[in-house]
Amino acid sequence: MGIVAVGRFDGVHLGHQFLLAEARKLAEEEGLPLIAYTFPSRGEALLPLVAKRALLLRLCDRVIVQDWEAVRGFSPEEFVRGELLGRLRAKGVVLGPNHRFGRDAAGDVGLLVELGKRFGFRVQVVSPLELGGELVSSRRIRRLVREGRVREAGALLGRPPTVFGEPVRGAGLARELGFPTVNLALWPGLVRPRSGVYLAWAHWPGGEAGGLFYLGARPTFPELPPSAELHLLRPPSPQGTFEVALFDFLRPDMRFAGKEELVRQLARDVEKAKAFFEAASPPAPILVNPKEAG
């Protein structure tokens, strides 16, 4: 039994946080736990499901992740009776005004209010949050990340957008150039930021540090495959998952005349990173605990 907040919650952005804060007020008023009822993301996501769940658990007492295929054939009333009332025993449901539910998205907020009156549960509709004259939405944030506008995306998320990856063996070029990196195999299914160089903060099991994140085709060395890699301002211990928070876009992927020109540019990039992280506060990790070795 509880108050149920319903949504995909991709990114768990400021708009989602606002809705869940309103749901928490209702839960406290009723003396009930707050339950987030969500689904895996469809298409490219801002967060992997495990990270979304971790963030939701900071805001809710329970998180239910439902397989979309298991309920997509339900009529709106079947969804309410089977899931909200039968499975969750909801005494209240909190959602945004544009939420649709049931087979072919036939149910809307108006119908849910009617069903709430019939079956005896409260429905609270939370107006979307606006920032910068636009709604805070997952779609808007995904677009910003694809365009490399990660600082703007972070302002809507309430934290920098994040990529996740596992360390893999690289070509050794970065070490040869004097700027060793950790090469990453990025987790699939997430929105890819624009190719280029970013100011980034990385967490990994046993440590954390600021530095530079590169994603691109390495156009100066066309014989090499594309890469995702980190140059950190202090030596890492490359083990386990890396969680990389992207603070700002520094420059696009570029082709240089040769190694010497690239090395000069990398030195300038590193100086900018050092200056930035002297003043910037590290973000809190989502999944990785940097105080414990994996």
Residues 63/35, Cβ–Cβ less than 8 Å: yes
Cα(74)–Cα(115) distance, rounded to whole angstroms? 15
Q: What is the pLDDT of residue 294?
A: 42
Residue range(s) occupied by CATH 3.40.50.620 in the chain: 2-131
Which tokens hold the place of 185? 């195999």
DSSP state of 147: T
Q: What is the pTM of this model?
A: 0.92
Q: What is the pLDDT of residue 72?
A: 83
- Which segments of the chain have a pLDDT < 70? 238, 290-294
Give residue for tokens 């119908």. Answer: 111
Supply the CATH classification number for the domain 160-279. Answer: 2.40.30.30
Give tens-digit pLDDT for 209-233.
999 999 999 998 889 899 999 999 9
Phi-psi sector, 89: left (phi>0), alpha (psi -120 to 50), beta:
left
H/E element, 9:
none
Q: What is the pLDDT of residue 292?
A: 58
Give the three-state DSSP class for 245: strand
Cα(83)–Cα(71) distance, rounded to whole angstroms? 9
Q: What is the pLDDT of residue 290?
A: 63
Instruction: Indicate the CATH number of 2-131 among 3.40.718.10, 3.40.50.620, 3.30.1360.10, 3.40.50.11540.
Output: 3.40.50.620
Q: What is the pLDDT of residue 164?
A: 97
Query: Which contacts qualify for 108-114: CB closer than 8 Å, 24 or more apart?
Result: 111/76, 112/76, 112/80
Give residue for tokens 């998205």. Answer: 105
Cα(139)–Cα(30) distance, rounded to whole angstroms? 33
Residue range(s) occupied by CATH 2.40.30.30 in the chain: 160-279
Cα(80)–Cα(152) distance, rounded to whole angstroms? 37
